Amino acid sequence: MIRVDHVAGGAFVLLGIVVFAISGDLPFGTMSAPGAGMMPKLMAGLMMAFALVLIAGAGSSPALASIDWSDRTHAALVVAATAAATALYRPLGFLITMSLLIFSLLVVVERRNLVRAAAYSIGLTVFAYWLFGIALKSPLERGLLWF
């Protein structure tokens, strides 16, 4: 049976292999003159070693099927909304992007009332703009629409 630690350990072993593969051009140097590649390769090696220990003792970890993924839809929607907001942040600016982010989370993820969600998202974003952009003089993105 596949256990949680089999997958977790395997993922880190794979990551270690990738690190070794892409750090080929970094010189390891010598013990008396360590190079730029010494620390990454040492750490990738250590990481793989601990991952192998994890795999070796995986028998006592829970079965992979026992992981509760009931929150996956919520997580995927939040990630999608935040990714869209990150992509739009510079072109659209703070006010529009953040209003849209909060509105979409409330309506799409939380299924809240449209009017309340719109009022809450606009009100909150305007307050945050005043707090950060005006009161605390933190330069927020204005975007193409000059907001």
Partner 1 sequence: METFDSLMLGFSVALRPDVLWYAFLGCVVGTLVGMLPGIGPLAGISILLPLTFGLDATKAIVMLAGIYYGSQYGGSTTSILLRIPGEAASVMTCIDGNAMAKKGRAGAALCIAAVGSFIAGTFGVVVLTLVAPPLASFALRFGPPEFTALLVLGLIFLAYMSTSSLPRTLLMAAFGLLLGTIGIDTMSGHFRFSFDLPELGDGIGIVPVAVGLFGLGEILATPSHQVTSEIPHPKLRELWPSRQEWRESAMPIARGSVLGFLIGIIPGSAHIISSFMSYALEKRVSKHPEEFGHGAVAGVAGPESANNAASTGAFVPMLALGIPTGPVTAVLIAALLIHGVPPGPTLVSDHPKVFWGFVASMYVGNLMLLALNLPLVGLFVNLLRVPYAYLYPLIIMFCVIGVYEVNHSIVDVWIMLIMGVVGYGLKKFGLDPAPLVLGLVISPLFEMSLRQSLLMSNGTWTIFFERPIAATLLAICLGLLALAALSHIRRRKDWRGRLAEAEAGDGH
- In angstroms, how far is the first alpha carbon of the chain from the final one? 56
Is residue 108 involved in binding partner 1 (CB under 8 A)? no
Task: Give the span between the Cα atoms of 97 and 87, in whole angstroms.
Answer: 9
Cross-strand pairs, 91: none
Q: SS3 string of 35-51?
A: CCCHHHHHHHHHHHHHH
Which of 2, 22, 63, 119 is close enough to bind partner 1 by CB under 8 A?
22
Which of 92, 95, 96, 102 is close enough to bind partner 1 by CB under 8 A?
102
- For residue 94, which amino acid is it? F
Please identify, using beta-carbon distances, which residue of 128 and 147 lies nearer to partner 1: 128
Asked if 11 and 64 count as a contact pair (C-beta separation under 8 A), the reply is no
Please tell me what DSSP assigns to residue 137.
-
Taking CB under 8 A as the criterion, which residues in 39-98 touch partner 1?
39-40, 43-44, 46-47, 50-51, 53-54, 57, 61-62, 67, 69-71, 74-75, 78-79, 82-83, 85-86, 89-90, 94, 98
DSSP codes of every residue in 75-102:
HHHHHHHHHHHHHHHHHH-HHHHHHHHH
Which residues bind to partner 1, rule: CB under 8 A? 4-5, 7-8, 12, 15, 19, 22-23, 26-27, 30-40, 43-44, 46-47, 50-51, 53-54, 57, 61-62, 67, 69-71, 74-75, 78-79, 82-83, 85-86, 89-90, 94, 98, 101-102, 105-106, 110, 112, 120-121, 124-125, 128, 132, 136-141
